[in-house]
Copies of this chain bind each other. A is one copy, B any other.
């Protein structure tokens, strides 16, 4: 299977290269990058020197599948002609995630480059949309925050055990802000500090709302999503809070057991959504494709609390993209993705 990576020089693209380099069914045949075109991969990323290729401006080989790790708008623009040529595409940008074109234009402040392709696109969270992904030719790979948040809340919303009054307080490592330069990626500014950001609204919000509304057995959600920047390189931790719906579940200690059972059941066949028995840490997911989920109940206030975590560059980006590729090509879902976390 011939694979192309558009914009290999950002973190998501680089991480795709790391994973695909050891994928038994994939062969990377073309990688692009704007400012670095003409250089070898090894010059830019010494740890990938084994991938003995030159970075080009455009995809130069005919490929079976293409991943794009470009920013939004630029991504769809580059992908569109390849898609029309019959290449399957996994887009790590936001361009194929939102079903509602107006929402896209509101949040991203630009017209969509190829709205006519949106209908074919599938939201690539395999734990919720596996069948569609298997048949898809365009997958909009979820954002890192949405991956953690949606998997944390889907079982409870589907079962209708919570009021749709949800707070997601999320914490992200710095690599989520990419390889570009800003005070949010400047070491001395973010080290030894925590802050909330995107206080007026983060672009991952509409995506979370779209998916949670879809799965909710009680319609729309009233959702506050608040991301925080944390001094570490990789990892996302989502703390989710919602009131239990009276009568829908036992109260007190019993609720804890029922919630855990519900979550275990929901994800029992999923290789990468792991419901655990003790509160997790992002370090349990360092470098692997797991989303680790810990549901419990604050019995003092009868609130559901779900803590989920993942590696933003793997299950939150490149790993999930490869998981989607595996499904699109009828490969085992975890092919090339059986990394053990690099703990500590």
Partner of A193, one of B21, B196, B232: B232
A48:B340 contact, CB within 8 angstroms: yes
Cα distance A224–B300 when bound, in Å?
8
A282:B11 contact, CB within 8 angstroms: no
Cα distance A175–B344 when bound, in Å?
8
B195:A237 contact, CB within 8 angstroms: yes
Cα distance A339–B27 when bound, in Å?
17
Chain B: minimal CB distance from A305 (Å): 7
A239:B233 contact, CB within 8 angstroms: no
Partner of A188, one of B18, B185, B341: B185
The answer to whether residues A181 and B191 also contact, given A223-B301, A279-B196 and a CB cut-off of 8 A, is no
Interface residues of A in 221-249 (CB under 8 A from B): 222-224, 226, 228, 230-235, 237, 239, 241, 243
Interface residues of A in 197-239 (CB under 8 A from B): 197, 199, 201, 222-224, 226, 228, 230-235, 237, 239
Residues of B within 8 A of A282 (CB): 192-195
Chain B: minimal CB distance from A294 (Å): 8
A231:B228 contact, CB within 8 angstroms: no
The answer to whether residues A344 and B239 also contact, given A230-B231, A232-B231 and a CB cut-off of 8 A, is no
Residues of B within 8 A of A89 (CB): none
Cα distance A171–B307 when bound, in Å?
14
B309:A233 contact, CB within 8 angstroms: no
A188:B11 contact, CB within 8 angstroms: yes
Cα distance A298–B231 when bound, in Å?
25
Residues of B within 8 A of A48 (CB): 340
Residues of B within 8 A of A309 (CB): 194-195
B233:A230 contact, CB within 8 angstroms: no
A14 contacts partner chain B, Cβ-Cβ < 8 Å? yes
Cα distance A296–B197 when bound, in Å?
13
Contact residues on A (Cβ < 8 Å of other chain), bracket: 35 or more
B46:A280 contact, CB within 8 angstroms: yes
A36 contacts partner chain B, Cβ-Cβ < 8 Å? no
Partner of A191, one of B165, B174, B224: B174
Cα distance A233–B230 when bound, in Å?
12
A188:B233 contact, CB within 8 angstroms: yes
A229 to B, closest residue via Cβ: B281
Contact mask A69-93 → B, CB, 8 Å, 1/0?
0000000000000000000000000
A193:B300 contact, CB within 8 angstroms: no
Chain B: minimal CB distance from A200 (Å): 8
Which of A22, A50, A174, A294 is packed against the most chain B CB atoms within 10 Å? A174
- Among A102-110, A259-267, A283-291, the stretch in contact with B: A283-291
Given contacts A21-B340, A192-B233, 12 further A-B pairs with CB under 8 A are A11-B344, A18-B343, A47-B283, A47-B284, A171-B230, A181-B182, A187-B187, A192-B235, A193-B232, A194-B230, A199-B294, A342-B342
Interface residues of A (CB under 8 A from B): 11, 14, 18, 21-22, 45-48, 50, 165, 167, 169, 171, 173-175, 179, 181-182, 185-197, 199, 201, 222-224, 226, 228, 230-235, 237, 239, 241, 243, 276, 278-288, 292, 294, 296, 298, 300-301, 303, 305, 307, 309, 338, 340-344
